[in-house]
Structure formats: C-alpha cells, structure tokens
A = this chain, B = another copy of it.
C-alpha cells in the first residue's frame, strides 16, 4: 500500500498544526515505525517508553509530543501526538477513490433503493426493499437482505451479511465476514425436542460503530438488538439477541455477550470475556481479558476472573494461590508444634498432678 506521495516538513507542520524544529524543506515520502524508518520517512514517538528506540532511529523526521527530547532529526511537535499520528497517516494514505455505481455483476432487487453516490461492488446481492444511502460502499460478495438499511457513508466490506430488516446508521464500518441479524439462539424444550422461538426482531447499529471481521450480532426475538453510537467491536465477537451495548464502548476480539444483556457506555470488555445472559454492566466498567461474568458489574467497576471478582481482590487471591504450597507447609508445621506442646503440657500436668 505504498504511495507515490510526499510532503515537505513545512507542509506537514501546517496540516498537523505542529511547531517545526528543523529543516522545513526536508521531504518525506512515508510514515514508518522507529525501527524501520529510513531517512526519507517520518516516524513518531507517541509513547515515551520508546524514547530509546527514537534516539536510535534513522528516520528523517519525527512527530512527537511536548516532553520528547534528544530526537536525532527534525521534529514536528504537537500537544496530542497520537491524534496527530492519525492525521499524518491519513495524509500519506488517503482513502482510495471509488467510483460510485453498481457493478454490472451485482444483483440488486428492482425495488431496492441505491443512492446515486453509493458504490455496490461486484457480485454483491441487495434484496428487495433494501436502502443503500449516499456515499455508502458495499463490497464485493456482500449481502444486504430484504428491507435492510445502510446509512450514509457506511462501508460494508466484502463478504459481509447484513440480514433482512437490519438497520445500520451513518459512517458504520463492517469488516469482511461479519454477520448482522442472524437468528438469536432461543428454544423451548417440549419434553421431546427443542422447539425454536421465532426470532422476529431486528438489529440497530447506530452511527460510527465499527464491527470486526467474522463478528456475529444476532437479531432480537422481539424488538431490537442495539449497538449505540461510536462503539467498536473487534473480530469474532458474539452479541446475542436483545443485547444493548451503550455508546463508545470497546469490545475486544472473541468476547461473547449472552442474550438480553445491558452493556453501558464507555465500557471495556477485553479479549475473550464472556457475559452470562440478562446481566447489566455499568457505564465505564472495565472487564479484564478472559473474565466470565455471572453477576452485574457496577459503573466504573474493574473486575477479573471466572467468575469475576473486583480486580484488586482477584489479583490478591491469585498471589495467595501461588503461596498455597507454602501455606500448607506452615499449617503442617503448626500441627506438629501443637502435638509437641500437647505432649509436653500433658507431661507437665502429670508431674503436677
């Protein structure tokens, strides 16, 4: 994905609202990490833990925050280097121009609505009544089911399935292989067999949500499964029916959220966390990786373990578990000392008697 573009440091300083220390006419053609950057590339120091790597870097220029010092080249200095890095990467890697229009090989139902500024890739399928908004991009081999809606400027990548009736807001990004709106997992055992509860609800994905590759979000039994605005889901996440995830939460890869959970705003569920059904996770809660939740979690609580405990308690218990062999040894010794005392005291009492 190399580009033939390049910028002088003067141009970059202006674009990033950075103050420039060094040769304004120096020209860089790409962005690279500290270790691999060469003299024609700009690198970045967004975390001072990498200050040593920065000093050793051969980069032709550096993007850095206020505290960084002793950098071996010109510096574009900004207050928020991580956010400036986003701008820098966007300058060197502008999104590919995509011509609007429907690929001739796509299969679009006659009564589907595709905005003239939208792009529908080759071999995509858009079913009856679906609505594809302005500037939307539907990737190759993607599926948008009957009556589904994809909001303005959203990107539905190759091989995604947006099932019937699902609604995506604006600027939603869905990565390849994700499935939004498959049936929830609901059965009643009638004594002979598991009878399926019809899953007749839908899914609502609000604006600015991003959904990872091969992630699955089930439709509600009735009503809607909801992911609120700005929330980001990583790959291979499972979201059960009737779940609601609040705004600006982070759901890391391989998390599983059972049916009817309420996940708050600004929550972090780290990798491989599991959440039992009908639980409530409060705003700002943080659940450490691989934890298994069997109870509600309060706002801003930090928890860890299966079943999860408060984080500090879980850590203390983990340490004590490591000391179990020593504790057993001490208990055994105490028992020996007890036996000895009992014998000696018995002898003394006999003497006294």
Write the residues of chain A forming the contact surface with B, with a CB cutoff of 8 angstroms: 1, 31-33, 36, 80, 82-83, 85-86, 89-90, 92-93, 96, 103, 105, 107, 121-123, 125, 127, 139-141, 143, 145-147, 157-159, 161, 163-165, 173, 175-177, 179, 182-183, 185, 187-190, 193-198, 200-202, 208, 210, 212-214, 216, 218, 222-223, 230, 232, 234-236, 238, 240, 248, 250, 252-254, 256, 258, 271-272, 274, 276, 289-290, 292, 294, 305-307, 309, 313, 316-318, 320-325, 327-328, 330-331, 334-335, 337-338, 341-342, 344-345, 348-349, 351-352
Contact = CB atoms under 8 A, between A and B. Distances in A.
Identical chains in the assembly: 3
B143 A125 contact: no
Given A292-B272, A306-B290, A349-B344, A177 B331 contact: no
A182 B157 contact: yes
30 contacts: A32-B222, A32-B223, A33-B223, A86-B198, A89-B197, A107-B140, A125-B141, A140-B143, A143-B158, A159-B159, A161-B213, A175-B182, A175-B183, A176-B179, A182-B213, A185-B235, A187-B250, A193-B248, A194-B250, A213-B216, A214-B236, A253-B258, A256-B271, A271-B274, A289-B292, A320-B324, A323-B328, A331-B331, A334-B334, A345-B348
A70 B200 CA distance: 28
Contact of A274 (B223, B290, B331, B334): B290
A345 B345 contact: yes
A236 B212 contact: no
A325 B316 contact: yes
Nearest to A290: B292
Given A289-B292, A328-B327, A36 B223 contact: yes
Given A139-B143, A185-B212, 10 more contacts: A1-B201, A92-B200, A103-B107, A127-B140, A159-B159, A179-B214, A187-B250, A194-B232, A253-B256, A253-B258
B306 A317 contact: no
